[in-house]
Amino acid sequence: MISTLNTLTKALVIFVIFDFFMFFVLEVIFWMQPFVYTILLEMFNNPPKTLDFSTHALVLKKLFINQGFYNLFFAVGGLAGLYYLNKNKAVGYALITLVCFSAVGAGIILAITSKAYILAFLQTVPAAFALFKVYPLFKNELNKSN
């Protein structure tokens, strides 16, 4: 059995980490930019007709900051997972498994609750492929330690 990440799987994991980090940047740093909130509100939310997008963005600002930091923490978890692959493979694979599982779950919820199907696809599919490859490596490392 292969005991390390192959290049494709590592690239998928890095894509998942980048995806989380990109949404941190959009939701925390650039949220109040009209270009950003207009696109995201149209895709995710479709605000009530009584509120214009700028008012709705202002109302949701703190919520998006909170959500953005969740994304940052998952990105950091993924980076820590990659780092720990050289120190303690079980820990590294555990962190990567958690991050990929979270991306798959969040992508499914995004597809169910919004019109952001392309974003949901881009969040879910690479993470699912990476999870499919990483989880057996994680199980293998756990079995070695028992």
Share of the chain above pLDDT 90, in %: 75
Q: Which of 96, 124, 119, 122 is nearest to 108 (CA)?
A: 124
pLDDT digits (tens, 9 = 90+) for 9-67: 999 999 999 999 999 999 999 999 999 988 888 877 666 778 888 898 899 999 999 99
Q: Is 42 helix (H, G, I), strand (E, B) or coil?
A: helix
pTM of the model: 0.89
Q: Is 48 helix (H, G, I), strand (E, B) or coil?
A: coil
CA distance 59 to 63: 8
